[in-house]
Amino acid sequence: MELNWSRWFRCESSFGLLLVPDLPGIFALAEEIVQPAGPDSRRMLAVFEINEADRLVRVLSRLFVEGSPWHDRLKSSNCYLRYAVVADVEERREAAEALKTWLNSQMDAAAHVFEQPLPVRQAPVEAATVAERAVDRVMAAKPLFPAGF
């Protein structure tokens, strides 16, 4: 199943959700990660939450309420959101579960790569270079996003 995702947009407050439809669907939250300055520096998004909702605008608005598990993170960092309207309950659940499984596999793969110790004889390497190599190994092993994401 291919989903028609919205563009990524910044989550600054619940007012930014004015154009989100009051329909059932799936959403993804991501945090902007900026690599250290340099000629090859890039801006990237790291997805940290994928979920489904019977009413997208209502569930997304609740993310900004005090006591929400994501309230502090949304206020303290540059977070972005995208969504896809999926009316059928079974399709929505299947797609959300598939994306959650994918997200967990990516986190497990990244954790495995970053936990590997560096060889003792290796000369000191700049931290960004080590991280970039680890990310390259993860990216080469698995596709970046499932089809349609």
Is the CB of residue 146 less than 8 Å from the CB of residue 100?
Answer: no
Domain boundaries, the chain: 9-141
Environment class of residue 16 by beta-carbon count within 10 Å: exposed (0-12), middle (13-18) or buried (19+)? middle
The pLDDT, as a whole number, for residue 105 is 84
Below-70 pLDDT ranges, the chain: 36, 108-149
CATH superfamily of the 9-141 domain: GIY-YIG endonuclease (3.40.1440.10)
According to DSSP, the residues that pair with 43 across neighbouring strands are 34
How far are the Cα atoms of 25, 36, 98 from residue 16, in angstroms, in the given order? 18, 29, 27
The pLDDT, as a whole number, for residue 12 is 79
3-state secondary structure labels for all residues of the chain: CCCCECCCEECCCHHHHCCCCCCCEEEEEEEEEECCCCCCCCEEEEEEEEEEECCHHHHHHHCCCCCCCCHHHHHHCCEEEEEEECCCHHHHHHHHHHHHHHHHHHHHHHHHHHHCCCCCCCCCCCHHHHHHHHHHHHHHHCCCCCCCC
Kindly report, residue by residue over 105-138, the tens digit of the pLDDT.
887 666 555 555 444 444 444 444 555 555 555 5
State pTM to two decimals.
0.67
What are residue 144's phi and psi, to 5 degrees?
Answer: -65, -50
One-letter identity of residue 134: A
